[in-house]
Amino acid sequence: MAKQETPMPTLKLNNGGTMPAIGLGTISFNESDEKIKFATLTAIRMGYRHVDTASGYHTEVLLGEALQEAMKLNLVTREDMFVTTKLAPDEVDPRDIVPSLRNSLSKLQLEYVDLLMIHWPLQLKKGAKMPPREGDFLPFDLRATWATLEQCVEKGLTKSIGVSNFNVKILNELMSFAKIPPVVNQVELHPRWQQKRMREYCASVGIIVEAWSPLGAPGQKYGTHDLLANSTLQQIAQKHQKTTAQVCLRWIFECGCSSVPKSFNRLRMSQNFAIFDWQLDEEDHKWIDAIPQNKYFLAAFLCNKTTSPFRSVDELWDGDC
Ligand code: A2P
């Protein structure tokens, strides 16, 4: 299989490390284990060096097997890869964090991950699954949780720590006491949800904003076809003879952000990687800036008036929704 000719650029993290600008997203609800494993190995052969999972995705074991195979075939060494996982909301009690991370590491067959994230800014009872029931929420002590993530760095179980789905207010609170600041906040980000306030805030404190569902997750039950069907993006794609998906990913990259598009299809996987030998021009950026904004994933199921720390989606996203 042809490896991509343009190597993957990396983004500099605030701890001195680097992260490949595009990672393979691996959330999956309907693909077979074999397909996921094969796709991961295919991505590595193609030149992907960054894979993103979460304990809630149930793909850690498959990624672990694919990584082992890739190393056995001498395609990569452990050091070549940037592997990220996330603590689920029922794993963020300080007493649970190290055992949960060790469990993820055992599934991934790794000694350490490159980035460990808190998946959501909330805590659920042990064993509670998403979407949570009203009685599943627990008070979330971010300070204590973060101190334990910092210990994970000290223990060598992860190189970096970060967060996901944090709003600006909670991120700012975290920055006020973090001894090790988060390197990344992974959030919904694409041309239809540009996150200007979040990007400005993160740029001011040295956090990389990373895009999940950078293509709007077309074909997934939680996703939309609207983004790739956007006429402005389609016109820009036509102008550059690229796909709409490539325009989305290139725009994210030109914003200084990373992204983790999920594809288990070889052609689309290679298209999603091939965005580094061309660029958008000023006019394209003006057009994209003017696209009406629409947050697709509100996560209203995480809000209630009694037990959740967020009474409304407005609180969950600190008004950015
Ligand atoms: P597939 O795995 O069959 O390629 P997101 O990364 O925004 O969550 O989107 C994931 C969804 O988008 C998957 O259903 C994936 O399907 C599809 N997808 C991934 N890459 C592309 C692409 N380049 N063009 C169109 N659809 C894509």
In tens, the pLDDT along 16-37 reads 999 999 999 999 888 999 999 9
Specify if 4 maps to a domain: no
| E strand map for 88-157 | 113-118, 123-124, 137-138
Specify if 5 maps to a domain: no
- Ligand 1: which residue has its CA nearest to atom 9? 217
Specify if 50 maps to a domain: yes
Q: Assign 58 a pLDDT band (cuts: 50, 70, 90).
A: confident
By residue range, what is the domain housing residue 174?
A: 18-316
What is residue 193's DSSP assignment?
B
Specify if 190 maps to a domain: yes
> Which of 48, 57, 222, 296 does the annotation list as catalytic?
57
Specify if 321 maps to a domain: no
Specify if 79 maps to a domain: yes
User: What's the one-letter identity of residue 38?
Assistant: F
24-25 vs 18-20, strand pairing mode: unpaired
Measured in Å, residue 151 CA sits from the centre of ligand 1 at 36
Neighbours of 200 (CB within 10 A): 11
- Ligand 1: which residue has its CA nearest to atom 1? 263
Specify if 8 maps to a domain: no
Q: What is the DSSP string of 297-318?
A: ---GGG--SSSSS-SSHHHHTT
60 Cβ neighbours under 8 A, 6+ residues apart: 53, 85, 104, 107, 108
Measured in Å, residue 262 CA sits from the centre of ligand 1 at 6
Measured in Å, residue 272 CA sits from the centre of ligand 1 at 9
What is residue 291's DSSP assignment?
S
Contact of 93 with 87, CB cutoff 8 Å: no
pLDDT digits (tens, 9 = 90+) for 267-281: 999 999 999 999 999
Residue in 52, 262, 269, 270 to alter for ligand 1 test, most ligand atoms within 8 A of Cβ: 262
pLDDT greater than 80 at residue 1: no
Give dist(CA 195, CA 207) in Å, integer: 14
Mean pLDDT value of segment 67-88: 98
Measured in Å, residue 31 CA sits from the centre of ligand 1 at 13
- Ligand 1: which residue has its CA nearest to atom 10? 217
pLDDT digits (tens, 9 = 90+) for 247-296: 999 999 999 999 999 999 999 999 999 999 999 999 999 999 999 999 99
What is the predicted pLDDT for the residue at 222? 82
Mean pLDDT value of segment 111-130: 97
Neighbours of 44 (CB within 10 A): 22
Q: Assign 82 a pLDDT band (cuts: 50, 70, 90).
A: very high
Residue carrying structure tokens 């999920």: 262
Query: Which of 249, 256, 284, 288 has the alpha carbon at shortest distance from 270?
Result: 249
Q: For ligand 1, what atom is nearest to the CA of residue 25?
A: 6
Q: For ligand 1, what atom is nearest to the CA of residue 263?
A: 2
Element holding 34 (H helix, E strand):
helix 33-46
Contact of 222 with 130, CB cutoff 8 Å: no
Q: Give the CATH number for residue 60.
A: 3.20.20.100
Tokens of 55: 């304990």
Q: Which residues line ligand 1 (CB under 6 A)?
A: 25, 213-220, 228, 243, 245, 261-265, 268, 271-272
User: What's the one-letter identity of residue 308?
Assistant: S
Q: Is 119 part of any known ligand binding site?
A: yes
Residue carrying structure tokens 């850690």: 60
Specify if 59 maps to a domain: yes
Give dist(CA 91, CA 93) in Å, integer: 6
Measured in Å, residue 218 CA sits from the centre of ligand 1 at 6
Contact of 113 with 157, CB cutoff 8 Å: yes
CA angle 89, 86, 307 (to 5 degrees): 15
18-20 vs 10-12, strand pairing mode: antiparallel
Tell me the β-bridge partners of 193.
190
- Ligand 1: which residue has its CA nearest to atom 21? 268
Tally of domains within the chain: 1
Q: What percent of the chain has pLDDT over 70?
A: 98
Tokens of 165: 């789905």
Q: Assign 5 a pLDDT band (cuts: 50, 70, 90).
A: low
> Does the annotation count 57 as an active-site position?
yes
What is the predicted pLDDT for the residue at 6? 72
- Indicate the length of the chain as a whole number: 321
Q: For ligand 1, what atom is nearest to the CA of residue 264?
A: 2
Q: Assign 4 a pLDDT band (cuts: 50, 70, 90).
A: low
Q: For ligand 1, what atom is nearest to the CA of residue 271?
A: 23
